Amino acid sequence: GAGVSQSPRYKVTKRGQDVALRCDPISGHVSLYWYRQALGQGPEFLTYFNYEAQQDKSGLPNDRFSAERPEGSISTLTIQRTEQRDSAMYRCASSAGTGRVAFFGQGTRLTVV
C-alpha cells in the first residue's frame, strides 16, 4: 500500500481480555517494527522482523506480548490477559531493510478498562 496501515485505530478492551493489533506494511518492505509510545515520549522498541523472521524481541515487556509475521508481510501483535498498564499507542513501522528509513503508521490506541 501507499503507507503503513494499522488496525484498528482505536481499541477499548476489558482487563483480562486478549487483543490482536494488525499492521500492514508498505508493499515490498522487508523489515517491520513494533513500537509502543506513551504520551509525551518517544516510541519505545518492542520487536522487529526481517521477512517472516523475528530478529529481535528484546523490547517485549513480558510473555503476555507476542508478535508474528507468518508470510513476511502483515504482522500481528498480540497481548494476552491485558492489564491497565498495557494502555498505550502501539505503532508499527516498516523499512526497505535494516539501516534504512523506517516509516510509521498512524498507530492503534489501546485502552484497557
Partner 1 sequence: GESVGLHLPTLSVQEGDNSIINCAYSNSASDYFIWYKQESGKGPQFIIDIRSNMDKRQGQRVTVLLNKTVKHLSLQIAATQPGDSAVYFCAENLSWAGGTSYGKLTFGQGTILTVHP
- The binding site for partner 1 (CB under 8 A) comprises 4, 31, 33, 35, 40-45, 48, 50, 55-56, 58-59, 91, 95, 97-99, 101-107
Name which of 14, 103, 93 is nearest 46 in CA terms: 93
Of residues 35 and 65, the one with the C-beta less far from partner 1: 35
Of residues 11 and 103, the one with the C-beta less far from partner 1: 103
Of residues 81 and 100, the one with the C-beta less far from partner 1: 100
Chain position carrying cell 490482536: 20
Question: How far is 27 from 96, CA to CA, in rounded Å?
Answer: 9
Minimum distance from residue 17 beta carbon to partner 1 (Å): 25
Minimum distance from residue 15 beta carbon to partner 1 (Å): 26
Question: How far is 16 from 25, CA to CA, in rounded Å?
Answer: 29
Minimum distance from residue 1 beta carbon to partner 1 (Å): 14
Question: How far is 76 from 61, CA to CA, in rounded Å?
Answer: 16
Question: How far is 65 from 60, CA to CA, in rounded Å?
Answer: 6
